[in-house]
Structure 1
Amino acid sequence: MSSTIGTTPARQGLGGRLAAVARIVELGSGRIDPKTLTEAGQLLLRAGDRLKLSSEHTVVALAGGTGSGKSSLFNAVSGLELSPTGVRRPTTARTHACVWGLDGAGPLLDWLQIQWRHRFARASALDKGESGLHGLILLDLPDHDSIRALTDHEADRLIQVADLVVWVLDPQKYADASTHRRYVTELAGHDAVTVFVLNQADRLSPEELSECVADLGDLLRREGVESPVIVPTSATTGRGVGDLRAVLADTVARRRAAIQRLEADLERLVGRLTEAMPPEEVPPGAVSVDDARRIGLTDALCDAVGVPAVGEAMENVYGVRSAEWVGWPYARWAARLRPDPLASLRLNDLKDEIRGLTGGSVSAQPAEVDNAVQALSDGLTAGMHESWREAVRDAARSRSAQLPQVLSEELTEVAPRLDRVPASWRLLRVWQYLLVVLFVAGVAWVGTALLYGVFEVGEIPGGLEAFGDAASLPWVGLMMLSVLGLGLLTAVASRNIVVLGAAAERERLEREMRRRVTAVAESMVIEPVERELARCNEFYAALRAVRG
């Protein structure tokens, strides 16, 4: 025997690593190769089934091609003629099992799908001196190069689930390409649960046997088997059978083969996952959407729906319309005698136009909305694996078709009512007309005083003597000038107050519209993106956990 099975310490946390594989299968759908996911799912099923079954038994499969002497070796190890031998092809059509210690092995043999008539138990009398093999389930598999598809499939299935695989090779075909390509290469990394037997050693001289063992070792190492265990045997003469039994007894005694096989399968899966999804770190900032990108998305969406334009239009219109209510009436009446410069503003239609900014024009700007969403996803996924970058991009755009319409509906609800007249405007208008009435009264007083007190055109009507006194003219003129000044001062002050109020209203409007845009962006863009980012991070965490 060129070497013995390695005693690599058991890797801790197999259950945790398998749980991580389950998370990878759950999270990796659509992100990694379906074939790799299928393999991971099959490993989980196999591990779950095997770990529930007898841990006191070790399943050892003798695998090999036709003519390798596999069945003869099976009989030699078991000490009984249990499996048919000969030159007929294929010799072994069904798997035979020899069990050392049948108690508790039934469910495991059922799981292995070994037919009842092909199960054999070593009687206690025959087991005398072989207590080291207690717990061994030795399988003689159908020839893997069988011309019968059924038996070939059965060999493949049992090679995948056996705790330890013993490859039985013969000196003439030990380098057979089909065996190495289909099985040995695939089982690279399974050193602890793979043994190679060079059978029919009696056909070689000692020098030839040494050369064959060395050549086979070199070949296996080139194929990824770092420390191959090679046992030369002869089923005919019994040479090396004791060494093979010792290897099997050591494996059975440690009760670790089942776990080691699952760990080896897990390592192979890790290699494929690493190849499919390199172990790059998730870029900083990709755990969630940071505040800067949230603000950037809101800014871009506000620009896309014209929030600044709506606010500016509202402020301008309020300023123009306020002149109708708080301006000095005489100035307004005088302006009517001149061409109206505001006619070009089409004030009657302005409300509809501004509402259009938060309505129809939003749906007319899907490209700008899409660009804003695209910029967010591109910034978050820089350096990510392509599959996750595409997944985050799809999540960001998952509701992009509805986004413009939703923005339109939200902003239409807060679009300014341009025909609304604040109560303060009405009060100021009443005050202005009160001043107009006082001024008109003053004019009437002056006229009466001139007619009856200065020009004495006749007798002043009874009860109006005070209005006809010429001495009152200076005081009435002073009152009229005061009324005019107060009216002008009120108009200017009111105008300034309205302008300041319009600016404040614009800020309030833009703040409310921005709040609504932020809420829509949060629910329709950021939340789907953060769910995908969380999925990505959970996937990488599971990948790190399964790597151990």
Structure 2
Amino acid sequence: MSTMTTRPGLAPRLTALTKIVELGPGRLEPKLLAEASTLLKRAGERLKLSSEHTVVALAGGTGSGKSSLFNAVSGLELSPTGVRRPTTARTHACVWGLEGSGPLLDWLQIQERHRFTRASALDRGESQLHGLILLDLPDHDSIRALTDNEADRLIGLADLVVWVLDPQKYADASTHRRYVTELAGHEAVTVFALNQADKLSAAELAELVIDLNDLLRREGVEHPTVVPTSATTGRGIDSLKSVVAAAVSRRRAAIQKMEADLQRLEQRVAKSMPVGEALSAPSTVDDARRLGLTDALCDAVGVPAVGEAMENVYAERSMQWVGWPYPRWISKLRPDPVKTLRLQDVGDEIRGITTGTVSAQKAEVVNAVQALADGLSADMHPVWRTSLQHAARSHLKQLPQTLTEELSEVAPRLDHVPGWWWLLKIWQYLLVAAFVLGLGWLVSGLLFAGQAPLGFQLLGDTAALPWVGLMMASVLGLGVLSGIAARNFVELGASKERERLEREMRRRVAAVAESAVVEPVERELGRHHAFYTAMRALAG
């Protein structure tokens, strides 16, 4: 038994359908998914079976003469025909070329006692039918549910279906409603045998053939193949054999049936999920949207406010170390601006900012996430739009708390004092000491006025007092200048510290946004892109 060779395009289309079935749950109708899964299973099984045999099923309603036509084509009385109520209860099979057909007949579930072979087909000049497996199906309109279901099953499994129609019931609603309307695209693997032609005159038969062709075209069968036949007189039997033989010799009917089934299913899926709606949808979250989400979340958790508070705190705290001591001592007589601002604890202030507005923060976080989802899903099918929004909101309940915990870890150390603050503070106190020393000298000189005790004559030297005054003025000036310089350095340091803090906070916010929002959204975008890529591949 050889493996069936598929034309280029069928294997990728089956692969595409597999992807659609994989991604379809929750997005496609369960019934449509079930049909797609059944088609994949059937195609996979059929492709593993004999490619040297073509399964042709004779299908028709009760009284259409289907079994008589089966016997006429096979040339043997293989399928029983009734008189009062001519119905077929079990499927019969006639095989032209038995070798390798066993697994295929097992797959079709044809009972051993209903299998027949035309071993002498070559001797009878029917070599063109070698490889044919002809099935006489149960009547599709039988009152027996079991046989009706078997007919439906085998109609789906057959490589080519010959619909045997009764001239009096060729427009039967049950046949057309249940089967013919599903045959759009199946013209290559569907034949219509207008049987019992011997009961009609030539004019009546011609009129019926024209009418049947028109009816089939109206129902979507663009190029129907209609063959008038008569099992009684043998009329049209050779024509029907020629049509069947052409399909058998090409060894293409099975592939064409799969392609037609795929085409019909693709049309139904495309109707449910139009490909055109997905062409402009993004397949990933671009940098601009990532940045926009980070900005929105930073605003939601108050990153600018935290940075500004930290800068104020940094500046106020630093002046306790590097400011000119005299103004600082004077300021102690006034209320402490640090305490007034309630910034005495940097960590508490920052944590207060990040945790004190959780309720308002949550609403802003929701808005930020929703804006991202809405922007990405604007051109999506409603089903995919909903699934993308669910993905974006999958961690929304924990997101505000996660952001709060992350930013609480960024609070600067309260006990950290830069080395240059220490040096500048020592310098400032040396200047204070020099000023105090000069002041003491000046007071002593004025008090003693040349009458200083022995060993302290210099203090009473009034000639040195101007120099002492100059030194004191210089010390004051140097202290003021160093204070101003320190202030400038502090402001510069505070600005840099704010930038560092905000940069670190943004980095953490961006990391949380990436893991909690962007990654789930990108997984859903990937599924969306893969689904519609598979849809385009399925369409061929």
Which of the five TM-score ranges fits, normalised by the shorter chain?
A: over 0.9
Measured in 2, the distance between the counterparts of 1:360 and 1:336 equals 31
Q: Are 2:428 and 1:429 aligned? A: no
Give the SS at the match of 1:168: strand
- Do the aligned partners of 1:100 and 1:122 also contact (CA within 8 Å) in 2? yes
Query: 2:16, 2:537 within 8 Å by CA — same for their partners in 1?
Result: yes
**1:474 aligned residue:** 466
Q: Pick from 254, 257, 260: which aligns with 2:256?
A: 260
- Which among 179, 184, 193 is matched to residue 188 of structure 1? 184
1:67 to 63, 69, 74: 63
Relative to 1, partners in 2 of residues 1:467 and 1:88: Cα closer, same or farther, differing over 3 Å?
farther
Bigger mean CA offset, 206-215 vs 151-160: 206-215
Residue 530 of structure 2 is aligned to residue 534 of structure 1: no
Q: Is the 8 A contact 2:96 2:121 kept in 1?
A: no
Q: Deviations over 1:349-408 (max 9, x none)?
A: 564132222345356511111111111121122222222222222222222222212211
Q: Deviations over 1:489-520 (max 9, x none)?
A: 11111112111111111111111111221222
- Deviation (angstroms), 1:542: 1.3
The secondary structure found in structure 1 opposite 2:42 is helix
Of residues 211, 215, 219, the one that matches 1:215 is: 211
Give the gaps of 5 or more residues in structure 1. Answer: 1-9
* CA-CA distance at 1:540 after TM superposition: 1.5
Preserved CA contact (<8 Å) 1:304 1:362: no
Note the alpha carbon deviations across 1:317-365, whole angstroms, 9 max, x for none.
2222222222222222223334555542223356413222234535651
1:315–1:506 Cα contact (<8 Å) kept: yes
**Deviations 1:149-203 (Å, cap 9, x if unpaired)?**
1111000000001001011111111111001100111122211111111111111
Q: For 1:498 and 1:125, locate their aligned partners in 2 and report how far apart those are by CA, in whole Å.
A: 105
Please say which of residues 173-182 and 361-370 is displaced more in the overlay: 361-370
User: 5+ residue gaps in structure 2?
Assistant: 1-5
Task: Give the drift of 1:263.
Answer: 0.8
What is aligned with 1:294? 290
Distance 1:47 1:417, change over 3 A: same
Structure-1-length-normalised TM-score: 0.93
Residue type at the aligned position of 1:194: T
Q: Helix, strand or coil for the counterpart of 1:273?
A: helix
Structure 1 residues 342 and 193 mapped into 2: Cα distance closer, same or farther (>3 Å)?
A: closer
Match for 1:124 among 117, 120, 127? 120
Offset, 1:90 = 6.2
1:280 CA displacement: 0.6
Q: Conserved in 1, the CA contact under 8 Å of 2:17 and 2:40?
A: yes
Q: Is the 8 A contact 2:323 2:483 kept in 1?
A: yes
Instruction: Give the corresponding residue for 1:441.
Output: 437
Shift of 1:279: 2.2
Farther off after superposition, 414-423 or 488-497: 414-423
Deviation of the 1:126 alpha carbon = 7.9
CA distance 1:339–1:292, shift in 2 (3 Å): closer
Kindly report which structure 2 residues correspond to 1:230-379, keeping only aligned pairs within 5 A, or say none: 230-280=226-276, 282-284=278-280, 286-340=282-336, 342-348=338-344, 351-362=347-358, 364-379=360-375
Q: 1:487 aligns with which of 479, 487, 491?
A: 479
Query: Structure 1: how far apart are the matches of 2:392 and 2:510?
Result: 15
Runs (4+) off by over 6 Å: none
**Number of the residue aligned with 1:100:** 96
Check the 8 A contact 1:363/1:404 in 2, yes or no.
Answer: no
1:6-85 matches, within 5 Å, as 12-85=8-81
- d(CA) in 2 for partners of 1:274, 1:104: 38
Between the two proteins, the alignment pairs up a number of residues equal to 535
Shift of 1:283: 4.9
- What TM-score does the superposition give when structure 2 sets the normalisation length? 0.95
1:232-257: CA deviation from partner (whole Å, max 9, x where unpaired):
11111212112111111111111111
Map of 2:146 onto structure 1: 150
Which of the residues 500, 522, 545 maps onto 2:514? 522
Alpha carbons 1:318, 1:418 under 8 Å: kept = no
Query: Superposition RMSD on alpha carbons, in Å?
Result: 1.9
Pair 1:499–1:434, CA change in 2 (3 A)? same
Structure 2: which amino acid aligns with 1:523?
A: S
Q: Partners of 1:285 and 1:235 in 2: how far apart?
A: 59
Larger deviation, residues 73-82 vs 522-531? 522-531
CA distance in structure 1 between the aligned counterparts of 2:279 and 2:514, rounded to whole angstroms: 22
Matched, 1:139 2:135: yes
Partner of 1:474, secondary structure, is helix
